[in-house]
Amino acid sequence: MIEPAYRTESTVTEDGALNLRGLPFQAGEALEVILIRRARGEGSRGEVESLRGSVLRYDDPTTPVAEEDWELGG
């Protein structure tokens, strides 16, 4: 089972540190951290960004959708 991702934003301090508080993980839990620099001009939440985190679960995310709408040529 793939664990859901948790997204947050932070700013690097003058001394190069990154502070994250209020994380939904237990003390001592091992985490993988991936840092991505924000593109310039991404300050406010756009339409796509406003949807981030709105999906609560996926039911069979790898199941094909609308297979019956495709026709095989022959």
Give residue 27's pLDDT: 93
Instruction: Please tell me the pTM assigned to this model.
Output: 0.44
Residue 11 confidence (pLDDT) above 70: yes
Are the C-beta atoms of 16 and 22 separated by less than 8 Å? no
pLDDT band, residue 72 (cuts 50/70/90)? confident
**In the block, residue with structure tokens 């026709």:** 71
- CA dist 31 and 48 (Å) reads 27
The DSSP secondary structure of 7-73, one letter per residue, reads: -------TTS-----S-SS-TT--------PPPTT--S--HHHHHTT-----SSTTS-S-GGG----
Residue 47 confidence (pLDDT) above 70: no
